[in-house]
Structures are given as structure tokens and as C-alpha cells.
Amino acid sequence: MAGHKPWGGRFTQPTDAMVEAFTSSIEDDKNIAMEDVEGSIAHATMLGEAGIISAADAETLVLGLEAVRGELLAGTFPWDTALEDVHMNVERRLAIHVGDEVAGRLHTGRSRNDQVALDSRLYLRRRLKEIEGHLLALERALVAKAEAHVDTLMPGYTHLQRGQPVRLAHHLLAYREMFSRDRGRVQDALRRVAVSPLGAGALAGTPHPIRRERVAELLGFSGVTTNSMDTVASRDHFLESMSASAISMVHLSRLAEELVMWSSAEFGFIEIGDAFTTGSSMMPQKKNPDVAELVRGKAGRVVGDLVALLTTVKALPLTYNRDLQEDKPPLYDSLNTWSSSLEITARMIPEVKFRVDRLQVALRKGFVTATELADHLVTRGVPFRDAHGVVGRIVGYCVAEDKVLEDLDLMTLRRFSPDFGDDALEWLDVERAVERRDLPGAPARARVVAALAAAKAELA
């Protein structure tokens, strides 16, 4: 296959077959085939406009590339594994359509180093926009579920111990905040992705009077990269997107973990619909939250993808090194996994049914209003630390007597402190406890309703 080598002139021997297979990136490159053609169409168009090749040749190249694109779309493109990568495959196929001479002019002023940099930027832009859409859908699903549960109270947890009562909507909107920030990170990443690297050449640009800005304009990029060596050597735009992916997968994993716990008999807070659960091959009673478990599990892989690429890049001298071909498999895995995990979670959320009765039982059993009782004493002039001690002793008494706070009467409370007021028992009401938390970001009804409205306005 030495004859197919675009650099064939220097070589007299064909490449070893195993080297050919080892260095090939064809299977991975199938992800960026459409982008490779799109980038070449822009490049050919610019070459013609700038008079670097004739207008007729430019037109022939564009028509030929469109034919190649048609084959890729139809699935009839004949991939040749003897050709190292997507760039050579497209160029050879183009030659079949338009002849060697015209096809041979396409690569004027371009290297595969800036070409692959362009293809992967186009790819990233496409995938990040798709992921932005999935994030929006997930946020909307969470907001819809929250809207249905503004008046459902539940224990909020710290240390996985019941802490203080909150609205279920508040808990769900906490995740909405995380995914909204993830979306912000996607938008940030997109800004730095959408600049054209073409013109960097192999590393030092090109003597031909190419028009870099024109290529950027044709591709809908906001501008061009500023240093040719940085352009072919750097992958921090990959790393940035993969960091956003890893962070977001960790958010998905925490949500998934709660769905797994909540669907256990021990919590019994939710039931996940049949379409999003699976059975056991041996235990007939099982209804397993596999989707949530897999999302949780896949988060580990996506964190690994980020670490893999950070490690690949960390000791590379400038500029391009073939190591950088190892940038794309973790990128693809990271984005594919993030995208599908977001999509399936967004579809699962509407299938989650909350057991309001079970949430109410949980509210009663966990001393979730103990802080309220202490705060009541504070309003009566008792220093918070002393009030905390008094209520701690009351809780100890309840535990010993197998009681909950709501079982106590005023007389009993006053045995622990004479400062309890006549309205002390009202402070044990969970609804009032939540309503007293009326400040920005807190779970009082009006605050949650406002947060919902703000979220909906943002997502509209």
C-alpha cells in the first residue's frame, strides 16, 4: 500500500502490516468523517476564492466532496483500512470522483495536523450543542416533577441522617441547579471550541496566501486560533469539555444514587416505572433500578476518560505528536456516555412516583424538628448553645422512652427548661418549620414557588 502513501516519495519499502494496523485511527475516525468533508469543502472554497487554485478546480473539488458526503450519509462509502485515517480515506475517494490531479490540489496549505484539529472542533461543537439540549430536557423534567411536589414535605438529610424538613420540590430543584451550572460549563466550552485552527499547517503555517478568517466564516466559527504551534499541540478544549462531562456525570451519579436508595424497601420513598426497571433471573420479587445504577457506574468511566487524556498530554513537547491520536477515543467515550446518561435520566424522571405517605412517616420519626425547638428557645432569649443542650437532652429522653418529639406535652418540655413558651409545641409542626425558613434559597413555600418560576423562565 506504499503507493497510497501521500508521503510515498520518501519511502522505498511498504509499511509493515502490523504497523499499519497499529497506527490506524480509521475506526475512531468514523465519528468525524462528516466533519472532515465539511472542513474540506470550506478549505476548497477558500482556496478558489483566494486564487490559490482555479475557480474551476475549486468547484470540482466541492462537487466531489459533496459526492463523498452523499456516500458517507448513505453508508456506501468504501472505507479502505489500508489508508491510515479518515483524511486519507476521504482524499483517496475524492480522487476516484474528480481525478488525481484536481484531488491533489485540495491539501494545498493544509496539514493533517490542523485538519484533524478542525475536524475535532467541528465534532465537539456538534456534540456539545446536542448535550446542551439533553441538559435542558433533564432540567425541564426535574422542574415538572418539582412543580407537582411543592406541597410534599420530606426529611432533608446530612450524613444520611434525617436533619430538617424540606419541600420535595426544593430537593429536586437542588439537582436542577447542578445541571444548570453544567449547561453553563458547556456554553463556556463552546466559546473556546468554535474557532478555526485551519492555517496552522503542520506547525508553522503556510506560505500560501490562504484566508483563515474566510474559512472560519464559512464554518460558522467566531474567529481563528492565534498561534500555529499552540493550535496543533493543544487539547485543552477537549479537556475542558471532558471536565464538564466528568462533573456532570458526578451530578447524575448522585441523583442516581438517591433513586437507588429511595427505591429500596428500607426507604420506600419512590417507585420507578416498569419501563425503567428490570427483573432478576432468579428472584421473582425483584424490581431493580438498573438504569440508575448504570448511570452511577458510568460516571466512573467518564472520570477515567478525563484522567486518561490529562495523562497523555502532560509530558508532550510542542507541537503535534502522534500520542495525540489517543485524544479522541476518550473524548468520544466521555461525550457518548454523558449524552446517553443525560437523555435516559431525563426520560426516567417522569417515571418516578413519590410515595408521599412514606415521606410523611419518615418526617415523624427522625427528630427533624429538634432544631426548631432549640430556635424557639433562642427567640425566648436562651443562648443557642444552651438551647442546643436542652433539646439534646430532650431527644435523649425520647430515645430512652421510645417516643417522638410530637408525643411530648408542654409540661414535659418545661421539665428540661422553664424557658419554653406557651406556643412551644407549635414549633414541632413540620409545615410551620419549613415556612419559617423564608429567605433567598430556602424552602419556604413562596421561595420555592419563586425558584420554580425563575427556573421555568430560564428554560422557556
Which member of 54, 222, 264, 280 is catalytic? 280
Q: Which member of 40, 45, 89, 113 binds ligand ARG (CB under 6 A)? A: 113
Q: What are phi and psi of 81, to 5 degrees?
A: -70, -15
- When asked if residue 112 is in the footprint of ligand ARG (CB under 6 A), the reply is yes
Of the listed pieces 66-74, 124-132, 316-324, 397-405, which binds ligand ARG according to CB under 6 A?
A: 316-324
> For the window 230-259, what string marks contact with ligand ARG as x by the rule CB under 6 A?
------------------------------
- When asked if residue 164 is in the footprint of ligand ARG (CB under 6 A), the reply is no
Euclidean distance between CA atoms 174 and 142, whole angstroms: 10
Q: Which member of 38, 85, 91, 258 binds ligand ARG (CB under 6 A)? A: 85
DSSP 3-state of 67: helix
Which residue type is seen at 312? T
Nearer to ligand ARG, 25 or 241 (CB): 25
- Least CB distance to ligand ARG at residue 109 (A): 16
Q: Which member of 324, 346, 430, 434 binds ligand ARG (CB under 6 A)? A: 324
- When asked if residue 121 is in the footprint of ligand ARG (CB under 6 A), the reply is no
- Name which of 82, 143, 87 is nearest 117 in CA terms: 87
- Least CB distance to ligand ARG at residue 57 (A): 25
Contact 68, 37 (CB under 8 A): yes
State the DSSP H helix or E strand holding residue 64, giving kind and residue range, or none if neither: helix 55-74
Peptide bond before residue 12 is cis, with ω within 30 degrees of 0: no
- When asked if residue 325 is in the footprint of ligand ARG (CB under 6 A), the reply is yes
Which residue type is seen at 373? L
Which member of 159, 171, 248, 334 is catalytic? 159
- Least CB distance to ligand ARG at residue 232 (A): 9
Nearer to ligand ARG, 320 or 420 (CB): 320
- Least CB distance to ligand ARG at residue 312 (A): 11
- Name which of 252, 273, 268 is nearest 131 in CA terms: 252
Contact 348, 258 (CB under 8 A): no
Beta-strand pair 153-158/223-224: unpaired
Cα 401–Cα 404–Cα 410 angle in degrees, nearest 5: 90
- Name which of 197, 218, 190 is nearest 127 in CA terms: 190
Q: Is 159 a catalytic residue?
A: yes
By beta carbon distance, the residue nearest ligand ARG is 325
CA separation (Å) from 171 to 74, 288, 372? 47, 23, 20
Of the listed pieces 8-16, 259-267, 318-326, 356-364, which binds ligand ARG according to CB under 6 A?
A: 318-326
Euclidean distance between CA atoms 455 and 349, whole angstroms: 17
- When asked if residue 119 is in the footprint of ligand ARG (CB under 6 A), the reply is no
Beta-strand pair 352-354/270-272: antiparallel
Contact 70, 127 (CB under 8 A): no
- Least CB distance to ligand ARG at residue 326 (A): 8
Residue given cell 477515543 in the structure block: 329
Which residue type is seen at 364? R
Euclidean distance between CA atoms 14 and 5, whole angstroms: 9
- Least CB distance to ligand ARG at residue 325 (A): 4
Residues 6+ apart with CB under 8 A from 36: 29, 86, 87, 90, 115, 119
Nearer to ligand ARG, 60 or 113 (CB): 113
Nearer to ligand ARG, 84 or 139 (CB): 84
- Least CB distance to ligand ARG at residue 161 (A): 51
Of the listed pieces 14-22, 69-77, 142-150, 324-332, which binds ligand ARG according to CB under 6 A?
A: 324-332
- When asked if residue 116 is in the footprint of ligand ARG (CB under 6 A), the reply is yes
Q: How many CB atoms lie within 10 A of CB 151?
A: 12
Q: Which of residues 21-50 bind ligand ARG (CB under 6 A)?
A: 25
- When asked if residue 228 is in the footprint of ligand ARG (CB under 6 A), the reply is no
Of the listed pieces 11-19, 129-137, 258-266, 323-331, which binds ligand ARG according to CB under 6 A?
A: 323-331
Residues engaged in binding ligand ARG (CB under 6 A): 25, 85, 112-113, 116, 320, 322, 324-325, 328
Active site amino acids: 159, 280
